[in-house]
Structure 1
Amino acid sequence: MKLSIIGGGSTYTPELIDGFARLSSSLPIEELWLVDTDPARLALVAGMAQRMFAAAGHPGRVIPTLDLVAGVSDADAVLIQLRIGGQAARHGDETFPHAVCCIGQETTGPGGFAKALRTVPVVLSVAETIRTHAKPDAWIIDFTNPVGIVTRALLNEGHRAVGLCNVAIGFQRKFANLLGVDHRAIRLDHVGLNHLSWERGVWLRDVSGASRDVLPELIGTHLTELAEEIELPPHLISLLGNVPSYYLRYFYAHDEVLREQGSGPSRAQAVLEVEQALLDIYADTSMNTKPDLLSKRGGAFYSEAAVDLIASLTSDRGDVQVVNLRNNGSLPFLPDDHVIEVSATVGAHGVQALPIAPLDDDIRGLISQVAGYERLALDAAIHGGRDRVLRAMMAHPLVLQFDRAEKLTDLLLAENSQHLAWAR
């Protein structure tokens, strides 16, 4: 198998390499191509990756390249993990909304919208190169945020794509730890949009193969731990009867999060320091294992999620994973072409959502509202124009007010004009 990583010079890449090395029996990679536009970072990360494969006895070759065509030619699967504008642009996403008392975040709200505008055109351009030069049945695995919007852009253009996030796999590990069981015995009833999701069931499989929903038991006996994990009040979990993702804090505790964001450096500033320290570590030719510092970079369990997804898509395992895929009637209140994040069976045929029980009105309403924003955001990302940006901004439930939306639109365009050809 030839696997390509677009954005392979990311300091996060060794997290993926660690998973590929440990789980090589599930995913037999013969060639791993790392594609990037930054030669210095690429050389450091590729050297680290090569040493990690060698130390683990992995037979695969790690090949760095600045040439996108060479990197994806005849690839069986391509992972896209891009950050257009780097941490500097992320810092803007996390700070410019504060001027009008909105949370700043790189995937949610006005900041996430800015990232979508920068990212979608680049990903679609990369995907066209993949379509032309990779194997005809190659899969595109999108890690690039905002995953739901980017994956929908890819699917709308006919690409063989699926989106992946680590929220669900993190919950799976957390629940298994609380129950004292192997994580592979846990299947989630996960539903929503990317970074707007709820765990509505935790199905525990016993030795006989039968499964039962232990979510009520988890809420009853581990309510405090669950609340601490997502940083939301215990009573909210009890009220909902499910476990919302951490990203629901931006909606359920917006003002509290806004106060927190005003009291310290942005996440981008913190990550920038971690990245420089990681690059120094990768430059040490004696290092051949994933450094502990990488845990502060974020993306826990992404490597396991990536291995599971690619292995299932290429070997037809037919197991259940949480992915971003086309709605196709799974949530009847959304258009068929919208992208949702749900539990699905994964095989060589692709991904198929499991049946979804009707949602409560409050959850359905929030999903509908954010989905409406996402559709307008994708239209703005593809076609450009201030008015399209303004309409999408106003549609977001964290914005809504026209005056606030206008101010945020001008702030967004000022921060991102160098990345938006139509706004220069």
Structure 2
Amino acid sequence: MQKEGIKIVTIGGGSSYTPELMEGFIKRYEELPIREFWLVDIEEGKEKLAIVGEMAQRMWDASPYDVKVHLTLDRKEALKDADFVTTQFRVGLLNARIKDERIPFSHGMLGQETNGAGGIFKALRTIPVILDIVEDMKELCPNAWLINFTNPSGMVTEAIIKHGGWKKCIGLCNVPINSMMKEPEMLEVKEEDLIYQFAGLNHFHWHKVTDRSGKDVTMDIIDAMYTKDDGTPANIFKVNFLKEQLEQMKLIPCGYHRYYYLQDEMLKHGLEEYHGIGTRGEQVKKTEAELFELYKDKDLNYKPEQLTQRGGTYYSDAACECINAIYNDKGLPMVVSTQNNGSLPDLPSDSVVEVTSYITGKGAMPVAWGPLDSAEKGWLQVMKAMEECTIKAAITGDYGLALQAFLLNPQIIGGKVAQELLDEMLVAHERYLPQFKEKIQELKANGVTVKDEKVQALMEQGY
């Protein structure tokens, strides 16, 4: 890594989040001098890449710093000699997310981006692509750090480290940041007055909090959660957790735990949207279209406030902070997906977990949490088993492993209906699942079709 300036490559550079990424690097430029910045996308994302790329350049031009933003559809051209690679892509674009949501809902099950059947299929599409990127990096930038916030971040990060053999990788998520920004307000203290510790998996973690004197204030936050804004991400319907459960755990669950602890309430709400205003992906598609209209404004050279409605705000800022901590060996505490290495003894040491870690020049150094109590341990081990089956199925195209992942997942009703859902989703996503080609051809020959009319329409349009 050259101290006279670094080269950063962002894959999925046409994302609506890219302006936040630029804002974060501009803010940190004095500590993190950038020599080159490359935004990479695919042919289908060419138009968005051009729009957001021009805006990114306007943001740098409005800053005191002379940084050129390069745009390319050629990943290998961009990766050569990179110091840091960030990934924020979505295989199949938002239309794939809409399929992930609508098809399970059509079967009376949760349709969600990173949970349930939708999360499994996002991983099945994404993991082969990320492993191809890793192979390119081995050839073109063997010393680079890979900072991943492509969802499902935990599974993708585990695939990179455990199966791709790329150890210089850290996975990120904005959910812990939301909690750490909102919870101090609930107690009427400053962020720096509290000490946080997180443990679990991506979108499935718990945390506890102390103040600077060492007093545990977790229960104070739990009490306040029922009357104040607790930082639940914009993309999660907020319904209160069962207080007696939280009082027993003495831990704060993440927002996504609602899909497990409050499954009935969340499913009912999701089905209402499915039959009404549309799924979250359909809503985001409209928000994103509005954002890109804003980004076309030749006078816009800063991140617009509307980006916070997108649901993933602070992702990009976390990536900038993580890169800064590695580059300057800061030893900053951050919540990241990294190899377990004993921090959670209830899981294998080589599993990827999402835990509080110190970010140094050698990467993430996880903080030990210790054994979990029975309920949390049970959830964690089931979810990790589901993740492992999903990752292996994504790599091998093993239909039986994909079925095992479905049967393990708490969001999916077991039995024949689970298999029917799996088969329908395989057919719907055929274009992005070459590892399942033979099985999909067999399913189609046996008459498996997609029942949801809006998904049918997307497929007829070539998506």
For the superposition of Structure 1 and Structure 2, which TM-score range results when normalised by the shorter chain? Answer: over 0.9
- SS of the residue aligned with 1:33? strand
Partners of 1:22 and 1:56 within 8 A in 2: no
* Matched AA of 2:255: Y
* Matched AA of 1:244: P
* Matched AA of 2:217: V
Equivalence for 1:297: 310
Partners of 1:93 and 1:110 within 8 A in 2: yes
- SS of the residue aligned with 1:224? coil
Equivalence for 2:140: 133
Selected match of 1:240 from 225, 228, 249: 249
For residues 231-270 of structure 1, what are the structure 2 equivalents within 5 Å?
A: 231-233=239-241, 235=243, 236-264=245-273, 265-270=278-283
Selected match of 1:280 from 266, 269, 293: 293
The TM-score with structure 2 as length reference comes to 0.86
* Matched AA of 2:16: T
Q: Does 1:173 align with 2:181?
A: yes
Query: How far off its partner does 1:222 sit?
Result: 5.1
Q: 1:353 to 1:128 in 2, by over 3 A?
A: same
Equivalence for 1:18: 23
Q: Separation in 1 of the partners of 2:337 and 2:108? A: 31
Q: Separation in 2 of the partners of 1:408 and 1:398? A: 12
Selected match of 2:171 from 163, 185, 190: 163
Deviations 1:140-192 (A, max 9, x none): 01101111111011002211211100111111101222234443443321111
Segment drifting more, 24-33 vs 119-128? 24-33
* Matched AA of 1:240: M
Q: Separation in 1 of the partners of 2:333 and 2:296? A: 39
The TM-score with structure 1 as length reference comes to 0.94
Query: How far off its partner does 1:348 sit?
Result: 0.9
Segment drifting more, 334-343 vs 404-413? 404-413
Query: How far off its partner does 1:400 sit?
Result: 5.9
Q: 1:220 to 1:276 in 2, by over 3 A?
A: closer
Query: How far off its partner does 1:281 sit?
Result: 1.3
Query: How far off its partner does 1:366 sit?
Result: 0.3
Q: Separation in 2 of the partners of 1:69 and 1:332? A: 39
Q: Separation in 2 of the partners of 1:275 and 1:219? A: 34
Q: Separation in 1 of the partners of 2:324 and 2:192? A: 15
Segment drifting more, 142-151 vs 330-339? 330-339
Partners of 1:227 and 1:234 within 8 A in 2: no
Name structure 2 gaps, 5 residues minimum: 1-5, 233-237, 438-463
Equivalence for 1:329: 342
Segment drifting more, 101-110 vs 182-191? 182-191
Q: Separation in 2 of the partners of 1:228 and 1:47? A: 32
Q: Separation in 2 of the partners of 1:35 and 1:410? A: 33
Q: Separation in 1 of the partners of 2:242 and 2:399? A: 41
How many residue pairs are counted as aligned between the two chains?
418
Partners of 1:231 and 1:246 within 8 A in 2: no
* Matched AA of 2:375: D
Q: Separation in 1 of the partners of 2:81 and 2:203? A: 33
Q: Does 1:365 align with 2:372?
A: no
Q: Separation in 1 of the partners of 2:284 and 2:223? A: 36
Q: Separation in 2 of the partners of 1:165 and 1:5? A: 16
- SS of the residue aligned with 1:233? coil
- SS of the residue aligned with 2:257? helix
Equivalence for 1:33: 38
Deviations 1:105-147 (A, max 9, x none): 110111100100000001110121122112x321001101111
* Matched AA of 1:6: I
* Matched AA of 1:149: M
Deviations 1:357-381 (A, max 9, x none): 3312111100000100100001100
Query: How far off its partner does 1:263 sit?
Result: 1.7
Q: 1:21 to 1:267 in 2, by over 3 A?
A: same
Name structure 1 gaps, 5 residues minimum: none
* Matched AA of 2:216: D
Percent identical: 37
Q: 1:276 to 1:309 in 2, by over 3 A?
A: same
Q: 1:227 to 1:73 in 2, by over 3 A?
A: closer
Partners of 1:203 and 1:212 within 8 A in 2: yes
Equivalence for 1:86: 93
Q: Does 1:203 align with 2:210?
A: yes
Q: Separation in 1 of the partners of 2:324 and 2:417? A: 46
Partners of 1:187 and 1:320 within 8 A in 2: no
Q: Separation in 1 of the partners of 2:52 and 2:231? A: 34
Partners of 2:342 and 2:368 within 8 A in 1: no
- SS of the residue aligned with 2:62? helix
* Matched AA of 1:249: R
Q: Separation in 1 of the partners of 2:288 and 2:224? A: 39
Q: Which runs of 4+ in 1 moved over 6 A?
A: none
Indicate the RMSD between aligned Cα atoms, in angstroms. 1.8
Deviations 1:59-111 (A, max 9, x none): 32211111111211111110011100011100011111123322111101111
